[in-house]
Every structure is written in structure tokens, then in C-alpha cells.
Amino acid sequence: MYLIDVLIFVGGLLLLVKGADLFVTSSSLIAKRFGVSEFIIGLTLVSIGTSVPELASSLAASFEHANGIVIGSILGSNIANIGLIASTAALLSSVKTEKLMLKRDGYIMLFSAILFSLFVLDFRISRTEAIIFLLLYFVYLLFLLDKVRKHEEDIYFKGFMIYFLKFEYIFDLNARIKTGFRGRVEENKINRAIKEIYEETEEKSGKEVLVRSENRSENRSENRSENRSEDNTYSEIKTGYETEIKNETESLSESSLLIEFIKLIASGVAIIIGAKYFIEQSIFFAQLLEIPETLIGISLVAVGTSLPELMVTVSAARSGYAGMALGNVLGSNITNTLLIMGCSGLVHPLTVTGNTVYYITPFMLFISLLLLLFIRTGWRIKRYEALILFLVYSGFMIFIFSRG
């Protein structure tokens, strides 16, 4: 009888995850077609991409007034990112860490977790608090885009707080708006100048070859070899330039813009439908099994929506990029707390249960601090430390379910 419900639950999750993958891919291609830089694409679409399932499911739950699932899925995802995903990466391959990872993104992640723990002391997340979360996330993006990128020296958490409290992001945003279109014009001028320089070089090289051929002398053999070298260099430059133009043309015509827009719309519909049925069935099973919604959120929903991060982590660790996977965990936790909690709380103020305030939130702070400690020890997360994270996570899940 419940087989259909299980199939709908799994189908909704698959639509959610696969739709998110297609959404990010299509969005990135469309952004490239319109000349958006790869840095900005990576900062926005790619960094948020693995959190799309959490965002969609949390918004769907918020519209259903399923506060327990919203809070449980966000906190559960943060905990699973550390106790399940980061530990998996370190178990597969010893993860190298660095000072910047700890003192910037690690501390910002911890700051967002502490801020959440303060906001839930009154057992609710108001719309005002949700707006604060969203503002902080918006400032975090601008901080990475303008402050960090433009300075050669490393900028840490202290720099982020100064950037936020002194309202520097307002000036950066204003400057970015004013120079946005001008920047595109300057880029076109630079491209034209490069082309003109190339054409002048091509003409000059041709003339030099002609002069050398007319003034052959007794050192004919030596000059001939020199000419051959110049001609080869000229041919390589020309071939390289023509290849670059050809590649540009092929990349632009590789996939129709209309098809990408259709894919984008289709993936958006898949995410909405998948999130709807995934959350509806989660609520159904919570009521059927008489399990609090928060526990369903912290287990089924959190782990289910964390599957993209888990798959990316396993792939990265096997390829020797486990450090990248850890960076993705830190960024995902920041996104979950600031962006997803902010969006969900803005849709509908969230009420918080006693289990969340007394057990789940303190544990999220504890496991976050434990991760930062392991990052600091020898600037490497060792396999035994990864095992500790996994066992602590498993123990907590057993404990929280035993409490009901």
C-alpha cells in the first residue's frame, strides 16, 4: 500500500537532484553566452548549485508551514556536510588544509552558526532575522567578489566583519553598477587593439621575409635557416590565432541558446515538482510513523538533499582534490544558514522546537568547532580525525532518534 508513496518520495528526490544539476549547467552556459566571467559564474551558480536541492525543499516546506522540516533539513544538512561528507573525503584521501580555509571561510561558517543559535533562543526565526541572514549572504558574495579578488594579500574573517560593519559593500555595489557597462566597452576596445596589433605584426613579418629573400648573399644557407625559423614562428602564430577564432565560433554555435533556455525552464519545473512531492511525502511519513518533523528533516530530507555534495566529494577525493571538497563543505554550510534559512524565514516566520534549541543547534556548533580544530592540526585532516567526525555524527543521530 505504501509502495506508491515510497516511489513518489524517491521520484521527487531524483527530480530535485537531477533538476538541480541541469539547472546549474544550463545557467552556466547561458551566462557564458552573455559574456559573464567564469569567476562570477563559479562564485554564484556553482557555489549555490549543490545547495539548490536544500533551497527548493526548504522553500516547499516553508510554503507548507512545515517548520520542523525546514529547520531540521538545514541544520541536518550542515551537520551531515561535516560528519558525513567532509569525513568521507578525508577517509578516502588525506585532506590538506590551509590558513585561509580556517581564518576566512571556516570562521564565517562558525559565525553564521553562532548567529543562528542566538536567533533561536526565543524559539523562532522572524522575518527580520531572515532578512539579516540574507543581507549577510549578499555581503559575503560581494566580499569575495570585490574585496578578496582585488587584494593580493589574504583577507580573513576580521576583514569580512570590517567590510560588513563599515558598509563598504554599498560603495562596491555602487561602483560595480556604474562600471558594469563601461567595463564591457573597455573589453571590446582591448580585443580590437589586440587584433590590430596582430595584423600589424603579420604585415611587418611579411615585409621582413620579402626583404630577406631579395637580399640573399654569400651567407645564403645561414639566412635561409633563419628565414625558415621566422616563417615557422609566423605560421604558428597565424595557426594559433585561427584556431582560437575557430574554437570561439564552435563554442558559440555548439548548443543553441533557445535549447539552453528550454533546458533551464524544464530543470526549474523539475525542481519545483520534485521538491513539492519530496516534502509532501516526507510530511506523510512523519505523520504515519509518528516521528517529529524535525527528525524527518534532520535525517531523510537532510541526507537526501546532501546527495549532490556527497557525490561531488567522492569524485573529488578519488581524483586527488579532497581539499576542494572540503572548501565546498564550508561554502555549502554558509549558504545553508544564511541564504536558505533567510529565504525560508522570509516566506514564513519559522517556529523552533525544544530539541532544536537544546540539542541539534549546540551539536552543530560542536561539530563545526571540531572540524575547525582538525583543519588546524598540522594543516591536514588525517584519516583518524575523519573517523572521529563520522563516529560523532553517527552517535548523535542515534541519540536524537532515541529521544524521539
pLDDT tens figures, 167-186: 888 888 887 777 654 544 45
- The whole-angstrom separation of Cα 193 and Cα 341 is 48
Using pLDDT thresholds of 50, 70 and 90, give the confidence band for residue 2: confident
Q: What is the pLDDT of residue 250?
A: 45
Tell me if 34 sits within 8 A of 286, measured CB to CB. Answer: no
Tell me if 341 sits within 8 A of 130, measured CB to CB. Answer: yes
> Which CATH code of 1.10.10.60, 3.10.580.10, 1.20.1420.30, 3.30.460.80 fits the domain covering 3-157+256-402?
1.20.1420.30
Of 222 and 77, more confident: 77
pLDDT tens figures, 104-151: 889 999 999 999 999 999 999 999 999 999 999 999 988 887 777 676
Q: What is the pLDDT of residue 78?
A: 95
User: Average pLDDT, stretch 261-280?
Assistant: 88
Mean per-residue pLDDT over the chain, rounded: 80
> Which region among 6-15, 315-324, 376-385 has the lowest average model confidence (pLDDT)?
315-324
Identify any residues that bridge with 96 across adjacent strands, giving them in sequence order. 380
pLDDT surpassing 80 at residue 376: yes
What stretches of 114-224 adopt beta strand conformation (E)?
124-125
Of 393 and 272, more confident: 393
Which of 396, 342, 379 shows the shortest CA–CA distance to 70?
Answer: 342
Three-class HEC string of 318-378: HCCCHHHHHHHHHHHHHHHHHHHHHHHHHHCCEECCHHHHHHHHHHHHHHHHHHHHHHHHH
Residue 291 three-state SS: coil
User: Average pLDDT, stretch 189-213?
Assistant: 57
SS3 content of the chain, % helix, strand, coil (to 5): 85, 0, 10
Q: What is the pLDDT of residue 242?
A: 45
Q: What is the pLDDT of residue 19?
A: 85
With 0-12 CB in 10 A as exposed, 13-18 as middle and 19+ as buried, what is 232? exposed
Distance of CA 32 to the CA centre of its chain: 17
Q: What is the pLDDT of residue 311?
A: 76
Per-domain boundaries in the chain: 3-157+256-402, 174-253
Q: What is the pLDDT of residue 306?
A: 83
- Output 285-290 pairs: Cβ under 8 A, ≥24 positions apart: 285/5, 285/9, 286/68, 286/69, 288/2
Which of 343, 357, 295, 317 shows the shortest CA–CA distance to 119?
Answer: 357
202 grid coordinates: 603579420
